[in-house]
Each structure stands twice: as structure tokens, then as C-alpha cells.
Structure 1
């Protein structure tokens, strides 16, 4: 239902996304999307590219006078650095210059496997698209998804849970308050007590010419029971969320709820016991059924159970180092030390914004599958009827 494609290269003229399936009547503005784009570019430890690009979105179709009209929405984020690359990345044959071919593949990147798969002898043809620059327009799509979810009081917030082995204490604050704490943190963490320690680590790693990774968490509250399905593997919502998280550049692991910790516990310390209180059904997006714990992370059997969605994902250290690693030239086969391109020391805070966006996209899709309509009012009526059904279940 909520479908999107992205296109564009890191040093091309722009990044583009086409979003299809949005209902008519959804309020949407460039200003609201730009807030998330600015968040993606922030965070302690970012590199020189952020000083060049000040990402702004343009809505090129599907919105009129501040509201969607039911047709595909086109989003565009211009690359300001294109001015320096318009010949090197030109689509026109007359600008071809084989002397600038990149033949030295970098460890940890898609360079070598991509070159082998697509029969390229210029790694530039791979690294331009595999770059995390692509996440800029995905964050724009995620902002659109959040605009839809907000119409139904569903809130999503991502933050840094761990950086280079330094763990933040998980906050028990309501999501609105948690977002404010995260917004006022240079590292987008919920635990200000460890922020200075994290910054010190980033500075030490930078001085050593190295990089550092971490773990991000994303919470979604107000999600009703019944999104996703158990009946086919590709309709399980936790599976779709896991795939979306793993599609983010440099992400190497994902878990929901307890995740891997559940494997070390006995079943009695894992599964969330179920209780019932009729009075709870009068609260936002809730039924009378509830759990005192949320070890499942809000999803059981591929279906949301009414508790908060809790996702955690691990980001590896960025593979572009100022202390080059060894590699081999794909043409000459000679050994060399990998070339250094402009890079971040730590992009974990930015990654938390991307993770927030992809979770919002998957929830928006699941929500539209369940309550789909051609106009936002139709979806609201469908949803209101479903909530009334749940309250009396």
C-alpha cells in the first residue's frame, strides 16, 4: 500500500523518491520534512560533507495547497556538491574520462562485490549509489510516513542506545518527553550522563584515524493491536521491520524486544504475561488487554499486540578510515592501502534518524494495509470502527 522507490547517486544532481499509495487529504509540507533532514545531518562526529550539504526537500507532485491529492508524491533533495561533479558524473558520453576511473576497492564497502556483479572496472559506478547519502531521501520518505501515523496518534522516536561499547541507560519517559531529551543531546542519546564519555571516545578515535559504531533504538507508541499477519512469512511485521533495518547502510544486526538476550533466559523470564482491565480500553489506541512487561517488543507471531514497538539495530564503524586498510587494485591486482574519501568518524546519531524513518515507513504500510482508503477521512472512519471493535473484544 505504502510503496516508494529512491533514485540518485551521491554526487549526482539530486536524490529522488516517489511515494505511492498515500490517501488524499493528508497534510504535508516541505518544512516538516526538512526538520528530519536537518536531524539526519546533525550529531557529534560527522564529517566534511555535512558542511557542504544543507539538505532541503522539494515536493514536485502529489501535493496541492498543503495536502496530498491521492496521486504519487515526488520528493527531491538536491546535491549541492553536484557543481563540482557535473562532468565526472555526467550522463553524456562526451564527458567520458577513463583516467579518473576508481580501481582501488575499499574494504567494508560494496566496491569489490558490486564491481564484480555489474562488470564494472570503475568502482565509482558502485560507490556512488551504495553511499549512505541515499538515506537523505529515505528520511524524507520516513517523514511522510510519520505525517500519516500522526493522524492516528502513533508516535515514533529513535535515539542512540550505545556508542563504541558505552551504553546509555534506557529512559522510562513518555515518548514526547524522550524526544525532547534526545533533541537536546549532541549525540541524540536518552542518557545525558554518558554523553561526555561518548564524545571523548569519538575524539580519541578521530585522533587515531579510526571510526566507531554503535546501537540505535527506535520506539513506536500508540500502535494498535492487529497490524501485520501470521499467515505468510512476508506479511509478518517483525520480519518486514528487520529487513527494513538491515537495508540501512552499515547496519549489521537487528532485534526486537529482548532480542538475543531472550536466548539466554528461561521461558518464564521471557514471555509477557497477559492481564485485562476494562478501564484501559478508554485510553488512546488501547484495549482492555495489557502486559506488565514488553519483552516481545510489541509484536507476537508477526502481529502487533498493542504494546510499544521496540527495535534495536547495530551499526558497524564506518569503513572509510583515515588510517587506510590494505586492499587490492581490481585492474592491476596490485596491493595498496585503501584510498581515503571524505567521511564521518561516527554517524550513529544520524543513523538513529534513518532507523526511525524506516520503522515509520513499515508501520505506515502495515497501517494502510489494515485500514486503507482513498482519502484520509475514510481511513479515520475505518480506524475508529476498528478501535470500537477492540474495546469490546
Structure 2
């Protein structure tokens, strides 16, 4: 499976094309729209979420609710486009208009964004040409693609969930949700204002977001993705680029504003001895091989172990501040305070939704590499036979 996304933040629409999905997989627009709505939610979101009501249109690759095996095209219309047609239009400018006179032209790069380096790389003197595509609005289609991947995984008995574990130094107590299944954890998270599974921490997170908003500043945090039901052996140890943990970590780091990733105990492993890190192996007739703990987060030697996959990512505070930082105008080279675009005081809850979907996408791709079938029924059969094989190994 492979996919591409296209579209600018204030352009007419966002598009994704997915190729390689097996035929006969159930897929409906509502399955995707539910996830797009979650991405737009969470306490701390800004005004853009009130403008855009993201709804997907499936325009190819699906007939009567099932995939055909041909490329699937997904489109989300930008409602705000009607206010930007003159600024972001595709047609050439009239000869009597100087490009420097275009409204909302940006020559002051914002610290922490792609503006300056992107302008240097692609030769843009109007930095709007950079920020329109580097905007986190692009994650709309990452979630849409991920919703398709989640449906694929769901049909294989693999379930995903994400939640927020930290915002602005407020951390959750893992005991509050220890032992909960992915489905039960999701029920709690989807009804929480910051997508957090610890009610006490959630209330403090909301307070922290409200406080930072009043100060014109922003907050970052940590999100966790959990995947249950993945069979052992997905990925490989034989080449570096086939290791599943490397692929998942790369997917997490590809999300806008993410600056760190860890699996299982993660960076805590640097502080404790190996006897408190590695997971002892056991076997039972019912389960086959399993681990007595899951400190390594369901991944060993670049492969899934059959235990839940647990991966976390850290999102930096959004760099667009209402008390903007200093920058330098690329035309005059004079110092100025950076341009302000619409911004959220905290987008960590939304980022947890994005994280779940990019991780689901990467796992779906890995499974399709392992089990090659042109139909969903055939792929299920292959996977069921493999599960029986590893259970009796």
C-alpha cells in the first residue's frame, strides 16, 4: 500500500490517493468522517476548527460500500477557500499586478516553522507558498488515510487507540487506566475534553491550557498509541529498513511539530538495569508464546512480539504565538515580530488522533507487505493460518 496527499491549507481542497488496498474491504465515508471530527476536537483548538467542517468524499476505488482493488481517492473541501480565491488562485496574475502587492503576502518568517528554510530551498520570496503546504492542515488527509487503514486492521482483529499522557508538565497516572482494553480506553478518551484517560490529570490539563491561552503562549505534550491484536513477526531483523519499530518511529516523527518518540519504557530504560527492562517469555496451550510484561512495547528485534504495541511521541508547543517572537524580514533584513496566522494554544489532543492514524497506516502497510492478497477474504485467510502457525510453533 502506498499513498500521496496534496493540497494547501487555504486552497480549494485536500486530496489523498491510496493504492494497494485489497478488494472487498468495507469502506464508507462515515467511517472516515468520524475520525476527521475527532481530529478537529479537543480542548485548546483555535478558530480554524470553527470554519472547517471536514467531510470526506470518496470519488474512486469503492463501489457499493466495498473497495474494488483500484486506487481510492479521498477529497476534503476547504470551506475557507471562498475567502482566499484571489490570494491562492491558480490562474496567472494580470500583468499590471506586482506579486509584492498580493494581500497576505508574508516576508517575515515565523520561528519554529518551515517558512525561512522552505523559502530558501524553493526560492519563494512570498513565504505563504511554504506555510500553506507545511501547515498542520495537511494532517487532515493523514487522518483520512489512517481511517481507511484502521478499517483494514479492524477487519483483521487488530485494534488501535490513542490518548494524551502529558500536557505542559501535567502527567497522567498510568494506574488510572492500567489493564483497560483498547475498546474500553477509547470509550473514556472519546468523552474527555483533552482525550485523556485519567480524569484528575485531564482537569489539570484543561486548566493549564486555559492559563497559557490567557498569556498568549502555547503548550506541548506527549501522546501514546496502543495497538492490540497484531500477530508476532510483522517486520524483520534481516535489513535495517524492514524493522517495524524503525518504520513506526519514522511515521510518528513525520507528524508536524513532533520532536521525539519512544517505544515501551522508552527513555526510562537508560535509568534502570536490564533485568527491569526485558520481558520474560512464557507459553500456554491457549495463547502460545507471550511475554510476562510489556516493557519493550510489543517490539523486539525489529518485529512485533504479539504483545500490545505501545509507542509515544512528544509534540512541541505550537510556534505560532499571539505574543510573537522576533524574526527578520527577508526583503529589508530588518528585525520584526513574526507574522501571526491562526493558532491553537494547545493541539496535543488533536495530535493524538493524528498519531493513531499515521501509526495505523504504517502498520497496515507492513501487514500488506507480509501477506500479499488481492482480496480481503484471501488476506484474512493467510493471516489466520499464520496465527495458527506461530501459536503452535
TM-score bin (small chain): over 0.9
Paired position in structure 2 for 1:285: none
Structure-1 separation of matches of 2:333 and 2:88? 26
1:61–1:72 Cα contact (<8 Å) kept? yes
2:167–2:220 Cα contact (<8 Å) kept? yes
Q: How does 1:309-324 map to 2 (within 5 A)?
A: 309-324=309-324
Structure 1 unaligned segments of length 5 or more: list them.
281-287
TM-score (norm 2): 0.97
Once superposed, what is the RMSD of the aligned Cα atoms? 0.9
CA apart distance, 1:372: 1.9
The C-alpha deviation readout for 1:29-51, integer Å capped at 9, x for no partner, is: 00110000000000000000001
Structure-1 separation of matches of 2:390 and 2:155? 19
CA apart distance, 1:98: 2.4
1:332 pairs with 2:332: yes
Structure-1 separation of matches of 2:331 and 2:233? 54
The C-alpha deviation readout for 1:265-316, integer Å capped at 9, x for no partner, is: 1111111111111122xxxxxxx11111111111101100110000000000
Paired position in structure 1 for 2:4: 5
Q: Secondary structure of 1:253's partner?
A: strand
After the TM superposition, which of the residue ranges 88-97 and 128-137 deviates more from structure 2?
88-97
CA apart distance, 1:99: 1.4
Match 1:134 to one of 129, 138, 161? 138
After the TM superposition, which of the residue ranges 338-347 and 207-216 deviates more from structure 2?
338-347
CA apart distance, 1:94: 2.7
Q: How does 1:378-389 map to 2 (within 5 A)?
A: 378-389=378-389
Runs of 4+ in 1 over 3 A off after TM superposition: none
2:168–2:221 Cα contact (<8 Å) kept? yes
Match 1:123 to one of 119, 123, 127? 127
The C-alpha deviation readout for 1:139-191, integer Å capped at 9, x for no partner, is: 00000000100111100001101000100122221111100000110100010
Structure 2 unaligned segments of length 5 or more: list them.
none
Paired position in structure 1 for 2:190: 183
Q: Secondary structure of 1:93's partner?
A: coil
Structure-2 separation of matches of 1:121 and 1:366? 40
Structure-2 separation of matches of 1:266 and 1:195? 32
Paired position in structure 1 for 2:258: 251
The C-alpha deviation readout for 1:57-113, integer Å capped at 9, x for no partner, is: 000100000000000000001100000111211111136642132100000000001
Paired position in structure 2 for 1:300: 300
Paired position in structure 2 for 1:53: 52
Q: How does 1:75-114 map to 2 (within 5 A)?
A: 75-94=74-93, 97-100=99-102, 101-114=105-118
Paired position in structure 2 for 1:203: 210
1:47–1:343 Cα contact (<8 Å) kept? yes
Structure-2 separation of matches of 1:98 and 1:3? 39
Paired position in structure 2 for 1:143: 147
1:274 pairs with 2:281: yes
The C-alpha deviation readout for 1:4-37, integer Å capped at 9, x for no partner, is: 1000000000110000100000000001100000
TM-score (norm 1): 0.97
Structure-2 separation of matches of 1:211 and 1:384? 47
Structure-2 separation of matches of 1:304 and 1:279? 19
Paired position in structure 1 for 2:61: 62
1:222–1:306 Cα contact (<8 Å) kept? yes
CA apart distance, 1:232: 1.1
Paired position in structure 2 for 1:164: 168
Paired position in structure 1 for 2:230: 223
Q: Secondary structure of 2:225's partner?
A: strand
Q: Secondary structure of 1:145's partner?
A: helix
1:169–1:190 Cα contact (<8 Å) kept? no
The C-alpha deviation readout for 1:210-260, integer Å capped at 9, x for no partner, is: 000000000000010010011111110100111111110000000100111
2:219–2:345 Cα contact (<8 Å) kept? yes
CA apart distance, 1:374: 0.4
Q: How does 1:224-239 map to 2 (within 5 A)?
A: 224-239=231-246
